[in-house]
Chain A
């Protein structure tokens, strides 16, 4: 019999970045198929191509043996492909029933919306999860009034209502509790019995081995291995994800445990998608935040900086309470934050390099009038120290390359030197040479006494730069890797919640 889905030689580039290089995926009818890989391996891009939200550059997708036209989500849906979204596809202002049937509302003979049918069919769907859905999960409940796990159940029901042949579940279990996951797995098994195929992406290795029939592993945009779940084990799967070189490569730095006492103490912090998280960090330490993307790393950094304040918990730096309610609090306590999203979070576009450098000091010192000469000298010195090439302090920030801009944005926090430096995927979109400079700079700041916390979407960056890496999974710390255990293999394994 034909496989229900066969994707062959799929290639896709975003600008200069190759996301997929001749990737392949074969899913049999009535199969639960797990798709695994480290951050940036291309699994999400491949799924989006199959679901019609991203266009492919070359390659072909066969559904039921026939070439599929997948130009838009609607076309993909017509061919029986449904993608589960993490909350993105629910309209908060509409009711649960309206959301589930949005775009394909049942109609009566006059062409009017058949509200009774929506009510009745939604109730039938809700019955499948009623035991674990909690209170208020009714057809006319507004989605904005539902809890995160109820919204996730709603997304699952919305996918089911479309009666697809292939369902892609991208992190469908992220906010579900254990009982809800069980019910979700029961639904998957029922679908399987009906001949529906599922592609299952999860960051929990336990779930993968509990439910999947077969496993496809991707690495660097390529499909590198296909397993039958019954005939393999976790070790082999993680090994395939990391690759031979990654598994045996010694860590790049010698990670000697640092001397000294805890300086930064984070105690039980919690926000919407994070926590509770507690950890300590030392003076001069570069602490990495690892794990798959979106497991709370960015929430932790922006919480420490006060941009998205923690709901509960306490942060102290050198025994001073520095729990920030807003960025100005953090800045007053010499906490610095550098984002990889330079355009959105850092740049004052169209303003000069001097202004872009001086801004943080102006805020901290509450200056309203700027004495030119004195400031100019002060920041010229700082910038010279960074080895940045620029035409002049008055040149617009946009005249610099991404890497040099990022150095300017770090320099804004160097006068005086920060006590805690938060780096949020700082080298995104920066060329290799500039990255090297950036690592040296971070290391220099740490050696001068700063505590550095860095989140990076590239595992290799964490491994080469950090003294210690905390792995986050589902908003909590699941592993603390240092010394001998700070290896690509351990990092990938821990990212999938499989740490020993």
Chain B
């Protein structure tokens, strides 16, 4: 027990070890696993989950939770493809579409945050409700899947920028933004809000602003994820990303961020997201039915939660 306790905020080390084991198992099961093209294809598959998980980390660190990220992904997707189509599908239309998409994501997060921090609603119930609202809006904007995005969009996503695969550039930018936030006082204050809300208040922190910022970041990262998914599917889908919210929360917890808030970080969530992705990959290459993935993922999250309880109880 005390051994686990000493890990404290470094629970992500366990996740890193788990990831290493999964990588080795997968390398055995899949002979070409370490070829650059396969690595890139795997990282491309995991990217949306990684992005949503990074965003979710801020909300959970602040002691809240965001169940609406999956619905935000769908809403951003249909708004973006609709805007691009409406503007004629040229280069500028794509850029406007991307910007509008990010705005919709951040705006949806802002709405969550304002309702929760401003009106003092329960985050779990509120974001469950807003997820239904966002899904409804997505269906209203685009009732059926379809409406392809122009070729430059998905070609760029699958291609390279200055010789570097676009997916890697997005990883880099996402890491830079996360590193930037981690180095700001914002991160310490957010942990304080999630750690002990009364103490954060007595110290004079602006709790409302910090919590709203976390939700807005979660919405923004969900928008990034959505735009990446759009690059992959190359079309609009109002039902996109439905499993992302739960998978992202799993990834955050696996990454060592305490569900109660106050402890953790985005880097751990990235590792957690890769672990969740690799579980699926290993199950596939082991020849097990795909349905096992959900079961195994559930059991692993349960184990991670139990570990978290042991660490905090000591």
**Beta-carbon contact of B195 and A92 below 8 Å:** yes
Give B283 Cβ to nearest chain A Cβ, in Å: 35
Nearest CB of A to B120, in Å? 17
Contact A91 B192 (CB under 8 A): yes
Number of interface residues of A (CB under 8 A): 23
Whether A91 lies near B196 (C-beta < 8 A) is yes
Inside 8 A of B263's CB, which chain A residues have their CB? 93
Taking the closest CB of chain A, its distance from the CB of B181, in whole angstroms, is 10
Closest to A110 in B: B183
In the complex the two chains form, is B204's CB within 8 Å of A73's CB? yes
Knowing A103-B189, A105-B188, A142-B8, say if A91 contacts B204 (CB, 8 Å): no
Interface check B211, CB cutoff 8 A: no
| A112–B185 CA distance with the chains assembled, in angstroms | 7
Cross-chain contact A102 with B198 (CB below 8 angstroms): no
Complex Cα distance, B185 from A107, in Å, reads 8
Question: Which A73-115 residues sit within 8 Å CB-CB of chain B?
Answer: 73-74, 77, 83, 85, 88-94, 98, 102-103, 105, 107, 111-113
A454 CA / B262 CA spacing, docked (Å): 39
A85 touches B8 (CB 8 A): no
A102-B202 contact in complex given A91-B195, A92-B195, A112-B183, C-beta closer than 8 Å: no
Please tell me if A361 contacts chain B, counting CB pairs below 8 Å. no
User: Assuming the A-B contacts A93-B262, A113-B183, are A77 and B204 also in contact, with contact meaning beta carbons closer than 8 angstroms in the complex?
Assistant: yes
Q: Which of B204-234 contact A (CB under 8 A)?
A: 204-206
| Secondary structure class of chain A's binding surface, majority of residues | loop
A431 to B263, CA, bound (A): 46
Q: How far does the Cβ of A97 sit from chain B's closest Cβ, in whole Å?
A: 10
The main secondary structure of chain B at its interface with chain A is helix
- The reply to whether A53 and B262 contact each other, CB–CB distance below 8 Å, is no
A13 at the interface (CB under 8 A from B): no
- Proximity string of chain A (360-374) to chain B, C-beta cutoff 8 Å, 1 when within and 0 when not: 000000000000000
Contacts of A53 in B (CB 8 A): 202
A232 touches B (CB below 8 Å): no
**A72 proximal to B (CB < 8 A):** yes
When C-beta atoms are compared, the residue in chain A nearest to B187 turns out to be A113
Q: Are A73 and B203 in contact (CB-based, < 8 A)?
A: yes
B184 close to chain A: CB less than 8 A:
yes
Contact A74 to B204, CB < 8 A, known contacts A88-B199, A91-B262: yes
CA distance A74 to B202 in the complex (A): 8
Q: How far is the CA of A102 from the CA of B189 in the complex (A)?
A: 7
A102 touches B188 (CB 8 A): yes
**Distance (Å) between the CB of B257 and the closest chain A CB?**
11
Residues of chain B contacted by A72 (CB below 8 angstroms): 204
Q: Is the CB of B202 within 8 A of A88?
A: yes
Q: What is the CA–CA distance of A72 and B204 in the complex, to the nearest angstrom? A: 8
Contact of B202 among A89, A93, A98, A105 (CB under 8 A): A89
**Contact present for B192 and A102 (CB under 8 Å):** yes
| In the complex with contacts A88-B202, A91-B196, A91-B200, A98-B188 CB distance below 8 A | yes
- Neighbouring A residues of B199 by C-beta, 8 Å: 88-91
Question: Which residues of chain A are near B8, meaning CB under 8 Å?
Answer: 142
Binary interface encoding of chain A residues 458-481 relative to chain B, with 1 for a CB under 8 A from any of its CBs, else 0: 000000000000000000000000
Measured CB to CB, the nearest residue on chain B to A118 is B188
Docked-complex contact B200 and A73, CB < 8 angstroms: no
Contact B184 A111, beta carbon cutoff 8 Å: yes
Question: Across the interface, which residues of A come within 8 angstroms of B201, CB to CB?
Answer: 73
Closest chain A CB from B302 CB (angstroms): 23
In Å, the complex CA distance between A93 and B193 comes to 10
| A74: chain B residues within 8 A (beta carbon) | 204, 206
A103 in contact with B205 (CB, 8 Å): yes
Give the distance in Å from the alpha carbon of A98 to the alpha carbon of B201 in the complex: 15
- List of A residues within 8 angstroms of B184 by Cβ: 111-113
**Contact A102 B203, CB 8 Å, known A91-B191, A94-B191:** yes
B-binding residues in A (CB < 8 A) = 53, 72-74, 77, 83, 85, 88-94, 98, 102-103, 105, 107, 111-113, 142
- In the A-B complex, the 5 residue pairs with the smallest Cβ-Cβ separation, listed nearest first, are A74-B204, A93-B262, A93-B195, A105-B185, A91-B195
Which residues of B are in contact with A by a Cβ distance under 8 Å?
A: 8-9, 183-185, 187-189, 191-192, 194-196, 198-206, 258, 262-263
